Each structure stands twice: as C-alpha cells, then as structure tokens.
Structure 1
Amino acid sequence: MNIFLLEDDADTAAFIARGLKEKGHQVEVAGDGVTAITRLLADRFDVIVLDRMVPGLDGLTVLKAVRAAGHATPVLMLTAKSQIADRVAGLEEGADDYLVKPFAFAELAARVTALGRRPLGSEAAAILKVADVEMNLLRREVRRGGKAVELQPREFTLLEQLMRNPGRVVTRTMLLDQVWNFGFDPKTNIVETHMSRLRSKLNEGFSRSAIRTVRGSGYLMEDSV
C-alpha cells in the first residue's frame, strides 16, 4: 500500500516508516500540516496516518481539509491526546480509527492493514441494495433512485451497517461499536449528529425517508419502497 504519514518527531517518523516499509508498504512522510495538506490534495494514498499535534496546521485541520476535498481515504489518527473528547473530535471530523501514543508497532501495522483492506470478489457481489438505495462497496458510491448521493466516509460506513441489516433494527450501541469502535457509550450525540446528516443527504428530493427511527430502540431501513 501507499501510505502517507504526518509526524513531526523525526525519530518516531523514522521508526514507523521503517517498520511499514519492512512490511512491503511505500511510505511518504511529512513533518508539518501545511506540507501534508499540499501533498494529500495533490496525490492519492491508500491509508493516511496523522499525528494530532504538529507544527503549523494540526492533524485535525489536515483531516478536515482532506474530507472537505471529498477524499475518502481511510485515516488513522495517531496522537498522545487520550481523552475521550479528543477521540470523539477526531472521529466526528472523519477519522476512521484512533491510536494513542505510546503504542506497539504491531498494533499500528495491524490497524493500517485493516484500514487499507477492500472488499474482494466481483463488483456485483459488492453491491448492497435496500428499497431504492444502492451502495457499491468497491467504488464507494451510493445512489438513491438512480441519483448519486455524496457521503463522507463515516456517513458511508453508517449507511453500510443499516443496509447490511434490512428490515432489522440497528441499535445505537451497535452503531457505536461497529462504526466508531466504541465498546462503551461515550455519552455524546455522535450517532444522532451523523444520522441527521446522512438522512438529509439521502432524503433530498424524496418524500419518503430512507431510514426510520424506532423510538427507544434504534434505526432501520425497510426493504421496500
């Protein structure tokens, strides 16, 4: 895989890059946020690893710029900021995973590999369809009634979980675990906020909501129009 690493500590950057290269990956390293944004908007990478606290523009700002540009590249936030609020902030801005320093390289490598993994098999086997909503997992595309729906990575993953369970209620706890990797409830409205954005995009131009709230239980997509 072609991996981009933003890390301002030279020793840490060299350690991570060397380990990933030994596993057969290509690694490009930047030590500040401005350089990172310039490179990430100019080229495509398979996985992005961002340190949170770096000179110039911090990792969170870099992440916002990447997502605002429409790039769906998986992002791992790598940082010493371990508070729940810091994790939530990164995830809400579109990070796909969060690893706190100090870390074991084996865990970092495993998480990078997992983020870079893509569905295998034919394109037809990688298409989910529920009522008039269709998702192409390989192309990372969503359409409703034939109309393209542009989603941010976290919104895409949220919708995927619902579409893999047509006609069944998906609880908030399940979504926190499957979409945000929380094995507990962080007591935030992260699910509700992303669900609101997802619904707004899916329902634009349609009279019927694609996602139904089951009060006190969770959310579901019915496999009929």
Structure 2
Amino acid sequence: MRHILIAEDDPHITSFVTRGLRGAGYEVTAVADGETALLLARAGDFDLLLLDIGLPGIDGFAVMSHLRGEGVTVPIIVLTARDSVIDTVRGLEGGANDYVTKPFQFAELLARVRLRIGDGEQRAPGPLLSHGDLSVDVRARRVSVGERNTELTAREFALLEVFLGHPGQVLSRDQLIGHVWGADFDPASNVVDVYVRALRGKIGPDRIETVRGAGYRLR
C-alpha cells in the first residue's frame, strides 16, 4: 500500500484529506509542523509528501530546500493558500512536483496524487472496477452497464468511483461532498441528491440505495 505524508497545520484540512486518501486506499501519516515533516520525509518511508507552505517552525519552502539539497527525491505536492505567480514559481523551482491552491476539490487532489506517484498498478481502488454487470475502467474513464457503454460527466464519474470504493457502505452526503466537491463546498447544498439522481438514470435506478436519514449506499 502506498504511504503518503501530509504536512499541514490546519486540522480541518488534514482530517478532510486524510479521510479521502484512506478511502481511496492509501496509508496516511499526518504531521502539523515543518521540523517533523522534514525528519519523517528524510527517512525515505513515504511515496509522496503533501506539503503546506505556511507550517509553524520551518515553512514548506525550507522543508523542500532541505530535502532537495540532501538528494531526497520523494514527490512533493504543495498545498497552499498562496496563489501568486511568485509563490507558484518559487515552489516549483524549489523542488515541488505540483502545486495545489486552497480551497481545492478532493477529486482534483486525488488525480494529482495518482499522477505523481504513478501507482496505476497498486492503488486501491484499482484501474478496473466491477460491481455486478457494472464495469468501470478508471484510467480510460469508461463505464459499461452490461454490453452498453454510458457517458458520465467528470463529477458523475468521481461520485461513482467513490461508491465503488465503498460497496455496501452507507456514505453520508457530507462524506460524498468531501470526496467529490471539496471540504469548502456548502454542506447544505442538494448537489449530492441531484448527481445521484443523474447517476441512477445512467447506470440503473436500483444500484444506489437511499438510506433515509443517513445517506446513500451502493447495493
């Protein structure tokens, strides 16, 4: 199992990203300061570092500078509220492999994680998913119901992938919003209900069950 180190001092973001990554099949370790992140990343036990720039102690730029200066090649995705061109360039030139500004959607972050650690063979859920006569090719983003191919929007596909990663498990609307739309999306929105309805129309009305007062479940 791939192991990801999160260095982030905002507990809300840490919890949100940790839940999402574990749900996607990754092992996660989270720290809240630069010194600890540097110490753990030096050990070489991680496949990816998600690194906040505004860490207490030493900031993310300093962490990257030390790691790259010491020859540590772990892929680094920077998570930051700083979105200026100067900061972006500084981060990329300082050794970051990618740069994600807050607020972000988890589906986008997950796609970047998968791209950077190249784990198509090992990630969970895998590149080919099936559930009954429903078949999903994650890499080709192709969905088949029996012998029929069906086209999904990016959001519908992300939502279906979450359900396939948790078959039989009741997922609350808040969980689904966190996975697909991001932690900062309005939890009072009915967007989940709208997209579940659309997804049912494309893959079959009985596959996704409404659990009253709790959320939804893939039968």
- CA distance in 1: counterparts of 2:80 and 2:32, whole angstroms: 14
Q: Quote the offset at 1:55 in angstroms.
A: 0.5
- The C-alpha deviation readout for 1:114-156, integer Å capped at 9, x for no partner, is 0010698xxxxxxxxxxxxxxxxxxxxxxxxxxxxxxxxxxxx
Q: Deviations over 1:90-127 (max 9, x none)?
A: 0001100000000001101110110010698xxxxxxx
How far off is 1:11 after superposition?
Answer: 1.2
| 1-structure distance, mates of 2:31, 2:44 | 14
Please give the alpha-carbon distance, in whole angstroms, between the structure 2 residues aligned to 1:95 and 1:78.
10
Runs of 4+ in 1 over 3 A off after TM superposition: none
1:54 Cα deviation after fit:
1.1
1:41-190, aligned counterparts within 5 Å? 41-117=42-118
SS in 2 for 1:113: helix
Partner of 1:215: none
Distance 2:102 2:120 in 1: 30
Q: Quick one: distance in 2 between partners of 1:72 and 1:12?
A: 25
Counterpart of 1:65 in 2: which secondary structure?
A: helix
Hey, what's the Cα distance between the residues in 2 that align with 1:54 and 1:114? 25
3-state SS in 1 of match to 2:29 = strand
> For 2:95, what is the secondary structure of its paired residue?
coil
2:39 corresponds to: 38
Instruction: Report the Cα distance in structure 2 between the residues aligned to 1:26 and 1:65, rounded to whole angstroms.
Output: 24
Unaligned runs of 5+ in 2: 122-219
TM-score normalized by the length of structure 2: 0.53
Give CA-to-partner distance per residue, 1:169-218, whole Å, 9 cap, x none. xxxxxxxxxxxxxxxxxxxxxxxxxxxxxxxxxxxxxxxxxxxxxxxxxx
Q: Does the Cα contact within 8 Å between 2:47 and 2:117 map onto a contact in 1? A: yes
Give, in angstroms, the shift of residue 41 of structure 1.
1.0
Distance 2:14 2:102 in 1: 13
Structure 1: gaps of 5 or more residues:
121-225
CA contact (8 A) 2:44 2:74 kept: no
For normalisation by structure 1, the TM-score amounts to: 0.52
Separation of aligned partners in 2, 1:39 and 1:47:
12
Aligned: 1:12 with 2:13 = yes
How many pairs does the alignment contain? 120
Helix, strand or coil for the counterpart of 2:30? Answer: strand
Report the RMSD for the aligned CA atoms in angstroms.
Answer: 1.4
Larger relative contact order (CA 8 Å, sep ≥ 6): 2
Q: Do the aligned partners of residues 45 and 56 (structure 1) sit closer, same or farther apart at CA in structure 2, a change above 3 Å counting?
A: same
Pair 54,19 (structure 1): closer, same or farther in 2 beyond 3 Å:
same
Structure 2 CA distance for aligned equivalents of residues 119 and 69 of structure 1: 29
The amino acid across from 1:72 in the alignment is: T
Letter in 2 for 1:12: I
Percent identical: 41
